[in-house]
């Protein structure tokens, strides 16, 4: 980390904070789950070292100013159950892309929506973002529903936008503008 202090976000049920090396065991649980990483363009993680690489990436985007990734913990449990944050931040254009993933044991409880809402609010308040984007595979219906519930609009299909795991992926482009955020 740099000298700047990593921000902590608190919601009704959650603490969002910086990832620490000690979180790797919790993170490996969901990052090694094929269903969790299926729509992320990643192979399931196999080792703690894979997770340390992910944590190092979180640190690098923060230090470079191109993004920020919070790990998600439930206040009453403390263990890491997912992450959410910004990447591809373009300060000159007041925009960033948002991403997230969650341990499958916690799907369907509104936790991802609570975390995403807090991260969006942070982006508009502290980064002065005007536009936040989400790139989502067409088959990832639950992620589409999650962002639509937050007010994102589907703008269109980006054909063969990414090359991951040996194939080209189409991605829907979603966005939400600051004035649309509730």
Instruction: Please give the CATH topology (third level) of the domain spanning 9-134.
Output: Aminopeptidase (3.40.630)
- Domain locations in the chain? 9-134
123-148 residues labelled b (16+ CB within 10 A) or e (exposed)? bbeebebebbbbbbbeeeeebbebbe
pLDDT digits (tens, 9 = 90+) for 77-93: 989 999 999 999 999 99
DSSP state of 127: S
Tell me the whole-structure pTM to 2 decimals.
Answer: 0.94
99 pLDDT above the threshold of 70: yes
Q: Please state, in angstroms and rounded to a whole number, the distance separating the CA atoms of residues 49 and 111.
A: 27
Q: What is the pLDDT of residues 20-61, one digit of tens each?
A: 999 999 999 999 999 999 888 889 999 999 999 999 999 999
Nearest Cα to Cα of residue 8 among 85, 111, 66? 85
pLDDT at residue 38 in the model? 87
């Amino acid at each position: 980390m740099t000298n700047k202090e990593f921000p902590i976000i608190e919601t009704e049920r959650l603490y969002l904070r910086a990832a620490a090396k000690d979180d790797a065991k919790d993170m490996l649980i969901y990052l090694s789950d094929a269903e969790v990483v299926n729509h992320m363009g990643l192979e399931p993680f196999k080792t703690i070292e894979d997770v340390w690489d992910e944590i190092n990436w979180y640190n690098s985007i923060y230090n470079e100013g191109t993004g920020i990734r919070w790990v998600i913990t439930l206040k009453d449990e403390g263990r890491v159950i997912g992450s959410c944050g910004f990447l591809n931040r373009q300060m000159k254009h007041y925009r960033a892309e948002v991403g997230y993933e969650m341990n499958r044991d916690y799907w369907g409880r509104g936790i991802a929506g609570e975390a995403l809402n807090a991260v969006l609010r942070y982006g508009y308040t502290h980064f002065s973002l005007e536009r936040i984007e989400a790139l989502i595979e067409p088959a990832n219906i639950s992620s589409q529903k999650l962002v639509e519930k937050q007010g994102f609009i589907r703008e269109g299909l980006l054909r063969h936008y990414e090359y991951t795991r040996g194939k080209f992926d189409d991605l829907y482009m979603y966005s939400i503008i600051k004035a649309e955020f509730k």
